[in-house]
């Protein structure tokens, strides 16, 4: 229900505490934190570009879908943009529900879907000073398609 697209870092513990504060119908929360990792020849540092306006709209749309499919009490998506270095937090998804299955499944759904539906692009820095746009992965499409099939 809360979407934030921001340059700043976030505090996972504080976000979990804030999301569940005062709501005693919540029986469990699932959180997913994505980090910038070091891959192969790249330095690992990257700059995330996004489409302001559409990004928030798409994240809100997939969040609304999660609320339709699972009995969620609360949800949060934070996605950062700008320059990030290995180890930096890049994305946070938290879902809260009376039941753990709904919390786990909806969290997985949101991270799988936002990878292929939210307009973000990663520009990687390489050791030779060059830059390279990261190519979309077929495995991400497959992960997202898994949820589409379940829609029946």
Dihedral of CA atoms 17, 12, 141, 70 in degrees, nearest 10, equals -10
CB of 79 to other proteins, least distance (A): 6
Which of 43, 60, 89, 119 lies at the binding interface for other proteins (CB under 8 A)? 119
Closer CB to other proteins, 26 or 93, in the complex: 93
Instruction: Phi first, then psi: give them for residue 140, nearest 5 degrees.
Output: -70, -40
Is residue 116 a contact point for other proteins (CB under 8 A)?
Answer: yes
CB of 32 to other proteins, least distance (A): 9
Contact 111, 78 (CB under 8 A): no
Site for other proteins in 3-42 (CB under 8 A): 34
Stretch that binds other proteins, among 35-43, 50-58, 65-73, 100-108 (CB under 8 A): 50-58
Stretch that binds other proteins, among 11-19, 23-31, 96-104, 107-115 (CB under 8 A): 107-115
Is residue 109 a contact point for other proteins (CB under 8 A)?
Answer: no
Closer CB to other proteins, 26 or 59, in the complex: 59
> Taking CB under 8 A as the rule, which mask of x and - marks residues 64-93 in contact with other proteins?
---------------x----------xx--
And the tokens for 101?
A: 């299955």
Binding site for other proteins (CB under 8 A): 34, 48-51, 53-54, 57, 79, 90-91, 111, 114-123, 133-137, 140
């Amino acid at each position: 229900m809360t979407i934030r697209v921001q340059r700043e870092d976030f505090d996972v513990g504080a976000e979990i505490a804030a999301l569940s504060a005062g709501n005693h119908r919540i029986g469990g929360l699932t959180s997913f934190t994505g980090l910038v990792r070091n891959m192969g020849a790249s330095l690992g540092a990257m700059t995330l570009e996004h489409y302001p306006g559409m990004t928030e709209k798409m994240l809100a749309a997939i969040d609304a879908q999660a609320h339709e499919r699972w009995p969620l009490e609360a949800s949060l998506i934070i996605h950062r943009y700008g320059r990030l270095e290995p180890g930096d937090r890049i994305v946070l998804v938290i879902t809260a529900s009376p039941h753990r299955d709904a919390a786990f499944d909806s969290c997985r759904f949101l991270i799988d879907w936002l990878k292929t539906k939210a307009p973000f692009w990663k520009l990687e820095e390489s050791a030779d000073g060059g830059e390279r746009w990261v190519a979309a992965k077929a495995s991400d499409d497959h992960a997202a398609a898994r949820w589409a099939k379940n829609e029946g």
